[in-house]
Structures are given as C-alpha cells and as structure tokens.
Amino acid sequence: MTTPPIRRRTRARELALQFLYAFELRGEDAMSELESFVDHHTKTGNMTQGNAAPGNRLEVANYAKDICLGVHDHLVDINNWIEHIARNWRLERMAYIDRNILRIAMYELLFQAEVPFKVVINEAIDMAKRYSTAQSGSFVNGILDRARVLIQEARDQGTISIPTAPEKSVILASSERKANSISGSGNSSSLADLGSSPESSTSSGLTIPDADPSLEPFPVPKPRQRRLKPRPTPPNDSDQES
C-alpha cells in the first residue's frame, strides 16, 4: 500500500513553519533568505522561460511565501490575538513550534477568507501533533476554536476590515454564549478547553493582560519520564573462580 502524496497547501504550511522557526531564532536577517529557502525546498529556483516549474510546485512555493510574508507583516496583530485568547499563557512560555503553528493558522483565519475555518484548524492540529508534544494538539485546537468563533461573529456583524484582537470581556462573553448553546441543545460535550503548552526556556519580553481571577490556571504538563532498562550486574570475581 503506497502512502498518498502530501497535499500542496499542507506542504506549504510545513515549509512556512520551518522558515518561521528559523526567523524567530535569527530575526530579521532571515527574511532576506525567504526566496532562496522556498525555491530550494520546492525546486522552483533558476527556472527559465522554457523550463518552468510544474504548477503544483509553484503553488506550494507561492503559498509558503505568502504565509511567511503575511505572518511577518501582521506579526503584532497576530500575537495580540493569540495572547488575548490564551489568557494564562504568554507567547514566550509557549514552545517555538506551538506558537508558530498558531501564527500560521491565525494569519489564515484572519487574512485568508477563502480558506474554510475547519481546514485551517485541522491542518494546525495535525502539524502540532506531528511536530510538537502530545498536549500541543488540544492546546492549538482550544485557542483556534475560540478565535474562529470571535472572527465569525465579527464577520456576521458586517465587519469589513480585519477584526482587531478582542478584549478579555469579549472572549468571556463569547465563551458563555457558546456554552449556553451547547447545554441548551442537550449535547454533553463541553467547550474546547485550552490545553497546556510546553514552556520555552527563552523570553522575548512580550507581555499579556492580567489573567481573569475567576478563571482557573491551566495545568502545567508533566514531563514524560523515560523508562530506563536496568544495567546487568557484572559477575563477582569470587563467582568466576568457583
């Protein structure tokens, strides 16, 4: 049984995640290498007029560049959205992979209206499960699900421009409305809780509004413990002599 080929935009998101990870470590200097990075990984560089790259490679390259440039240009707004929704988690406490997956998805939710919300969120969850920790999938899902509700509410109200990051009171009111609709429908499932993201050891100096005292803090995940096999006991000299 052969493995199905990876989808084009899935590959583009993975390339964007790789580049944004490097961008966060190296800073603005990395942006000058975006073109060469994407062209190298998609094999679309140095193509002449008569030797153009296949359409699928160009689609991957163009969408990966669009995501990277979009996240870079709207980084402040995207960070504000993430921090306002993840009330008890500062960006610098999130793992590098987790926060860059969230940035990619938030960019698509806010600025790529033609991409369905469900596709964006599912792709982000899959990347979190594949490249980060066991808790990262639920953590990413919780933040993006709340963002989806708030963005959809803004669009339903006729907001033409990109919605600004919500305040805490708006997030709480939206969560209460969703919880009431779930309980009223007889559905036993609850709101998608924000998971726990592994902490990063570096600090970027970003701040977050004070957490609401009425909310319980999210539990800090326990590190996985490796099972070590006991080393065999070497034989005593007395045993060998006997």
Q: How many structural domains comprise the chain? A: 2
Residues 194 and 85 reside in one and the same domain: yes
Residues 109 and 7 reside in one and the same domain: no
Distance of CA 29 to the CA centre of its chain: 23
Residues 116 and 180 reside in one and the same domain: yes
What is the pLDDT, as a whole number, of residue 121? 97
Rounded Cα distance, 167 and 62, in Å: 34
Q: pLDDT tens digits for the chain (242 residues)?
A: 444 456 899 999 999 999 999 999 999 999 999 999 999 999 887 654 445 457 788 999 999 999 999 999 999 999 999 998 987 788 888 999 999 999 999 999 999 989 999 999 999 999 999 999 989 999 999 999 999 999 988 888 876 556 677 665 554 555 555 455 544 444 333 323 334 444 443 333 333 333 333 333 333 344 445 555 666 666 665 555 54
In a domain, 224, yes or no: no
Residues 37 and 129 reside in one and the same domain: no
Residues 181 and 86 reside in one and the same domain: yes
For residue 134, give the CATH number of its domain.
1.10.940.10
| Residue 93: DSSP 8-state | G
What is the pLDDT, as a whole number, of residue 86? 86
Residues 170 and 181 reside in one and the same domain: yes
What is the pLDDT, as a whole number, of residue 198? 44
In a domain, 22, yes or no: yes
Domain containing 12: what range? Answer: 1-45+53-73
Please give the single-letter amino acid code of residue 195: G
For the whole model, what pTM was predicted?
Answer: 0.67
Residues 192 and 85 reside in one and the same domain: yes
Contact 89, 221 (CB under 8 A): no
What is the pLDDT, as a whole number, of residue 55? 72
Rounded Cα distance, 42 and 178, in Å: 42
Residues 106 and 39 reside in one and the same domain: no
| Residue 186: DSSP 8-state | T
Residues 63 and 131 reside in one and the same domain: no
Residues 99 and 63 reside in one and the same domain: no
Contact 114, 198 (CB under 8 A): no
What is the pLDDT, as a whole number, of residue 206? 31
